[in-house]
Chain A
Amino acid sequence: AQSVSQHNHHVILSEAASLELGCNYSYGGTVNLFWYVQYPGQHLQLLLKYFSGDPLVKGIKGFEAEFIKSKFSFNLRKPSVQWSDTAEYFCAVSNTGFQKLVFGTGTRLLVSP
């Protein structure tokens, strides 16, 4: 069965600390990979995506993610977090040609000023 694992459920960081959120997937076929963010009181927003090509993708607000096919991973990184990055982060996967997104359970990030 298709599944996405986010191992960090809650992360607390101080401002300027570096961030890495793990995402592993179990999926057959060609995958499309996404990170979405849900700020408090706001709707899900796309942070970045990977379809093909360079496995290191850059998104909005200084976030980046690396697709490592051999490890079935798509980890999210940011070198220096800000208080405004406090949010819930979701990794999601779909198969090419299908719109069904399978989401991980999410990681709640709290950045203290």
Chain B
Amino acid sequence: KAGVTQTPRYLIKTRGQQVTLSCSPISGHRSVSWYQQTPGQGLQFLFEYFSETQRNKGNFPGRFSGRQFSNSRSEMNVSTLELGDSALYLCASSFLGQGPDTQYFGPGTRLTVL
């Protein structure tokens, strides 16, 4: 099975712009979660989607949003970019999305905000 894929792998934006990142989960996985990884804050949970519904949300401002499509693919959007949004954004998918479950991570999208 192919792993979690994320596009694009690298992105450079300027402050004030918006950006959309894409994630394709492992085939058959229905839950997709997003994380932000920075040197200062480490790995932080953004949100999780299951069956096109956001089930859980981390402590991030409303500029961070996401959605999931019927084929389980997911996108996250960051509007009005700030310098502090520069980070590696990781997508993870899991099979059931309930009970004890394991998340498998993609390679990430490295976003640089200038």
What residues make up the interface of A, taking CB atoms closer than 8 Å to B? 32, 34, 36, 42-46, 49, 51-52, 90, 92, 96-106
The residue of chain A having its C-beta at the shortest distance from the C-beta of B55 within the complex is A99
Give B72 Cβ to nearest chain A Cβ, in Å. 13
Partner of B97, one of A51, A99, A103, A106: A99
Partner of B101, one of A43, A92, A99: A99
* B42 lies within 8 A of A99 (CB): no
Max count, chain A CB within 10 A of own CB: residue among B31, B97, B103? B103
The residue of chain A having its C-beta at the shortest distance from the C-beta of B108 within the complex is A43
Give B7 Cβ to nearest chain A Cβ, in Å. 14
Max count, chain B CB within 10 A of own CB: residue among A90, A97, A100, A102? A100
* A36 lies within 8 A of B105 (CB): yes
Interface size class of B (residues with CB under 8 A): 20 to 34
What residues make up the interface of B, taking CB atoms closer than 8 Å to A? 31, 33, 35, 42-45, 48, 50, 55-56, 58, 90, 92, 94, 97-108
* A46 lies within 8 A of B102 (CB): yes
Please indicate the chain A residues that have their CB under 8 angstroms from the CB of B50 in the complex. Answer: 99
Give A27 Cβ to nearest chain B Cβ, in Å. 14
CA distance A52 to B99 in the complex (A): 12
Partner of B103, one of A96, A99, A105: A99
